[in-house]
Structure 1
């Protein structure tokens, strides 16, 4: 167990971050306080490692100044619910006997309404060490503090020193500080799962905060709606794992949880998709909006316009915000919510427009969710997520020529890559985990509100449930363009691959030998 040691003379003030299944917030102080959302306040606030203090090297020491009022603080971000009891629990140990007690506090509102309780350490005299671990609790019922309801809850721990509040350091070891509600709350929602093949194991998890024992029931659904027709699966556990069968692909999974304090008030988790790595949708636009992948995700557009494309036909769209000249993919709102783990979107475009225009997207603005691929006002392309960031390209694609734009997202690596004409253009970092949105996939725009419609031609759009490799991206490009473009898999140092053909041969050796024993120093006398 990692610990923190806090050095104070008078006051120590703290708040927390999610850590364990059974807690809304559980602070174990693994990182520097201000590195986990804490704010240090007061003179001489420092942070040290305990490598030389006869403790595990991973433990930390936080040294705060001795001025009265020194503290660390943070708002939890938890919205206070009505008629809910919140239990604050801490486990601490007097480090040197100089700390007299603790003052625990919870507050919310503007101006804040505050509840506090003072407790005294049993093991506290400097002459009677070693001192033992002690646990303290304080509970707050929001029914007694109506002004707190609807506001984010803050939690504080003040260190109390009555003997010498101004002139001495005191050491307090903190094992954890936690905050639990009596009404159950899901704090770790299940995520969509994409398995690499049939027979692989799918693992789902539903983390819950509760003061009392929690019971879990997992379900499998065919329609992304939690109802009586769904199949119960798994055991009474926060974890669900099973070997995926072909019949499971495209199904949805969710968990219903209830605790023993409120058994008649169960809570349903997020409903998430179970998929496998595959081409989920493919639209060739060869005089049809139908899905060529065979999965049945056909497009709709009242008056499609077909023109000559990169291969056979393409669709022609006009950048007109007043009209809806775009393709909406039917029944894709839930079925395409797999992308938290990975995604590839590929489309051929041809345009001369200098505007931000949506090539394809699946997104919503309330709340702000989903993915998008579009051209930018500087003529380059971009791919990313409303929630977590975008990979902004560097290659101009609005030159009136056909270009293959491909975006991939790797959920494990948290990276989005943008390819232009089969070659990697840029890699971007995605923060957090993208979550599914409620809208259908749009081609020729970004959302159902017809924001940023595309002006130009679009052909051969493909959506995969996983991030394609650089080789697979290039293969799509080479399916349409001759001669084939090549990709260097072994990126040799340019000093050795002089002609840049991705292999070391005699011409490279000759180039290297030209400079044999030559001196590159200045002045020339330095070579003698």
Structure 2
């Protein structure tokens, strides 16, 4: 089955295709921990609670579980085990049901409060813990956090994104306005490496010079370190030290894609990204303005300097229209992303109007044929 994003109250379907030469039955499960998973149907695929679940199975090629009127209580991973008369048995992969929501919102109105969860980060400095953390200045929308050299914010281990279906690690959008004077990490966290020393759960959203960059890591699959992917934009889409504000946004979805946007416009993308086996809870707090040292995860790798405003975390990848809306709401600038009769947009302002007609009319009856008599 495939990961599904839904609004609360929608019916959500998971489909598993298979091949069986004798009648097969599908037993559906709601994943808990691999040991105590909730069985949703009997051995013949009949739901125990038909008010919440419906199952279809043609017995030879396809079975469908529908979660009825889905709510956050249904937010989990689902899978099935298919068995036929010859006692053959096959377990499908797991896929998540995610109820779309804004997980966290930090407007930086003279504090580090997350308006969604009523929690707050702590402003700090490294290496001198006696120095203050980030200050506050006028931003792109009200007030904004201002990071000087060594400044960072610890949001705590319960901050998003974090492990758990619908909590932002398997799929997410991070979006923040920045006014950088020095490039560096914007938002990041990494757990300790596993016993093999080959990495573990983590993410890093940063500016590598003028280029946005995102990396997402999960837990090993079959003992091998697994990375969802690393993506970095080309060119110089973000100015450094130009006193301008830029909306930098990233989206990702395990097994599907990673994307980067600047001022609402896509600047990099990749498909076919990895699907980590799982994500572990945070050992240390999520950081703003820093990441965590690979040699010692308790030590922040500071470096970013400049402004940060209106940070938002969603548990699903916003599409290009939703990201353009985020940009428009603050900047008042509409982006040219809708389809229109662009071949008649002679002045390139993303609309066809009288100015284009005047340009067209000015060339009325001009002729490029030779000889000139051929135009008559």
Give TM-score, length-normalised by structure 2: 0.64
C-alpha distance 307-509 of structure 1, shift in aligned 2 (>3 A): same
Q: 1: distance between equivalents of 2:287 and 2:79?
A: 27
1:218 aligned partner: 29
- Deviation string for 1:51-109 (max 9, x for gaps)? xxxxxxxxxxxxxxxxxxxxxxxxxxxxxxxxxxxxxxxxxxxxxxxxxxxxxxxxxxx
Q: Give ranges in structure 1 of 5+ residues lacking alignment.
A: 1-189, 208-212, 260-266
Q: What value does the CA root-mean-square deviation take over the aligned residues?
A: 4.5
Pairing 1:392-471 to 2, within 5 Å after superposition: 392-394=233-235, 395-399=237-241, 400-409=243-252, 414-422=256-264, 424-435=265-276, 436-438=278-280, 440=282, 441-446=286-291, 449=297, 450-451=300-301, 453-471=303-321
Answering whether residue 98 of structure 2 is matched by residue 291 of structure 1, we say no
Deviation at 1:367, TM superposition (A): 4.3
C-alpha distance 498-258 of structure 1, shift in aligned 2 (>3 A): closer
Q: 1: distance between equivalents of 2:347 and 2:109?
A: 41
C-alpha distance 507-239 of structure 1, shift in aligned 2 (>3 A): closer
- Deviation string for 1:259-311 (max 9, x for gaps)? 9xxxxxxx999876532122122122224433212xx3835436453412333
1:275 aligned partner: 98
Deviation at 1:351, TM superposition (A): 1.2
* SS in structure 1 of the partner of residue 344 of structure 2: coil
Answering whether residue 346 of structure 2 is matched by residue 498 of structure 1, we say yes
1:513 aligned partner: 361
- Deviation string for 1:360-418 (max 9, x for gaps)? 246667446665422112x1323464533425154123233222112234679x45443
C-alpha distance 417-403 of structure 1, shift in aligned 2 (>3 A): same
Q: 2: distance between equivalents of 1:340 and 1:220?
A: 17
1:74 aligned partner: none
- Deviation string for 1:12-44 (max 9, x for gaps)? xxxxxxxxxxxxxxxxxxxxxxxxxxxxxxxxx
2:52 aligned partner: none
Give TM-score, length-normalised by structure 1: 0.48
Answering whether residue 70 of structure 2 is matched by residue 245 of structure 1, we say yes
- Deviation string for 1:117-168 (max 9, x for gaps)? xxxxxxxxxxxxxxxxxxxxxxxxxxxxxxxxxxxxxxxxxxxxxxxxxxxx
Q: 1:199 aligns with which of 10, 20, 25?
A: 10
C-alpha distance 313-439 of structure 1, shift in aligned 2 (>3 A): farther
* SS in structure 1 of the partner of residue 272 of structure 2: coil
Deviation at 1:462, TM superposition (A): 0.8
2:329 aligned partner: 479
Deviation at 1:197, TM superposition (A): 3.7
1:327 aligned partner: 155
Preserved contact between residue 298 and residue 330 of structure 1 (Cα < 8 Å): no
Q: 2: distance between equivalents of 1:389 and 1:497?
A: 38
Deviation at 1:347, TM superposition (A): 0.5
Deviation at 1:348, TM superposition (A): 1.2
C-alpha distance 526-376 of structure 1, shift in aligned 2 (>3 A): farther
Deviation at 1:514, TM superposition (A): 2.6
- Deviation string for 1:467-507 (max 9, x for gaps)? 324333233233333xx212335455665212223332232
Q: 2: distance between equivalents of 1:329 and 1:442?
A: 10
The structure whose Rg is larger is: 1
Q: 1: distance between equivalents of 2:326 and 2:275?
A: 26
Preserved contact between residue 490 and residue 502 of structure 1 (Cα < 8 Å): no
Preserved contact between residue 421 and residue 477 of structure 1 (Cα < 8 Å): yes
Give the number of aligned pairs. Answer: 315
* SS in structure 1 of the partner of residue 348 of structure 2: coil
Q: 1: distance between equivalents of 2:340 and 2:306?
A: 39
Q: 1: distance between equivalents of 2:169 and 2:155?
A: 24
Preserved contact between residue 369 and residue 434 of structure 1 (Cα < 8 Å): no
Q: 1: distance between equivalents of 2:170 and 2:280?
A: 18
C-alpha distance 411-526 of structure 1, shift in aligned 2 (>3 A): farther
Deviation at 1:466, TM superposition (A): 2.5
Preserved contact between residue 203 and residue 241 of structure 1 (Cα < 8 Å): yes
1:21 aligned partner: none
Pairing 1:20-419 to 2, within 5 Å after superposition: 192-203=3-14, 218-221=29-32, 225-226=33-34, 228=36, 231-236=38-43, 240-251=65-76, 253=78, 273-293=96-116, 296=117, 298-301=119-122, 303=124, 304-308=133-137, 309-318=139-148, 320=150, 325-328=153-156, 330=158, 332=160, 333-335=162-164, 342-353=171-182, 355=183, 357-361=184-188, 366-367=198-199, 371-377=203-209, 379-383=210-214, 385=216, 386-394=227-235, 395-399=237-241, 400-409=243-252, 414-419=256-261
Q: 2: distance between equivalents of 1:254 and 1:367?
A: 28
